[in-house]
Structure 1
Amino acid sequence: MRKISSYILLFFFLLFPFLLKAQITQFRDSIIQISGITMTADSLRAIPAVSIVVQGQGRGTISNSQGVFSIVAFKGDTLSFSAIGFKKKIYQIPTDLQGNNFSMIQLMVEDTTYLPVTIIKPYPTREEFEKAFISGDIPDDAYEIARKNTQAAHMRALARYMPVDGREAANMYMQKQSQSLYYAGQQTPQNIFNPLAWAQFIQAWKRGDFKRKDDY
């Protein structure tokens, strides 16, 4: 029995390279490169951006601007062609193809979508049209919205009640530091007797800088 087992193992090891080579050859023969072009069925116009997917494998490609594509698959695989505005097409690669390259032209049919009927009716009289046109609420365009957002009062309100960002906080801190160092070793002057400070206070009062938030 040991001799028979030894002969069987020896026979298997002798045939293993030939079996492996046959499997590799069969695997290579089953791979095929599909190259082609996607076109419309009625006018033979190239269709760009067509998605070509190998079903069940999660891989594929997209046709270029001239509708040309190329993908590697196995013989017997199913290719799915889909594009916006066209019906989906399914193509199964034949298993009896000779060689490892195949060229094809995939024709696609436009997918026509029918919308529900819309009936446009005019106003019964000219007076009703004028009344609806005058009383209609026309939304602001981009220029009007920008004009309202850049009004002086609106900008002042935003500047007063919006918190400062990091850059503004750093600048305010540096200004306070520079003011404290400027009067280092001496008494800080009082602006109560400064006419320029009083002029700035009066201008700020006229602008409404000291109004409460409820006024806005």
Structure 2
Amino acid sequence: MKKFLSLLTLTVGLFTQLYAQEPEAPKLIQFSGMIITELDGRMVPVPYATVSLPQKHRGTYSDYRGFFSIVVEKGEKVRFSCIGLETITVTVPDTLTQDRYAVIQPMSQDTFNLPELVIFPWPSKEHFKIEFLKMDVTPELQRRASENIANDYLAEARKNPDMVPYGGRESANFYLRQQSREYVYLGQTPPMNIFSPLAWGQFFKAWKEGKFKKKKDN
């Protein structure tokens, strides 16, 4: 009996020592906040900035309001980066007593945005007028100009705008309209006309009117 108690005591002591030597799991911290920068003398949020943990090769990014949230450990380094702004690396304090840590992280401008510059082939309007009057107008140019301002062509263009090629502004507007339609159904399946009650109503109406009947040859 004494041998059994001694063996049991030794086993319990061994397990207790092994359990005490196990490293304590690191305490996780919910690190969140807002990223801001100065623009025209006022502080504005920085959307879609990268928030990464270089030591673990993972991270996240801020939303369109500049808000971010990521799980970190005490003493871990967090890197903030964004195009046009200086990259900043901060260290999570190792003296935190709570499992949440919030900050407002400012970032400074890294580059300067120059104003728009438009380059013209002539130094001034006066030079353009001189060059325009001196331009050699060939018969082919005269013919095209006459066709473009002909009443018949303009009337047809008003009825069918697609026959007139788009300019830069019209092409940009068309592209933006296409993008806006795609964003409406982002993350979901676009609706199909086969499930549209309006499309079915038009189909039955055309069917009753006999538009799908084959015409007999005379």
Q: Which has the larger radius of gyration?
A: 1
TM-score, normalised by the number of residues in structure 1: 0.48
TM-score, normalised by the number of residues in structure 2: 0.47
Which structure features the higher share of helix residues? 1
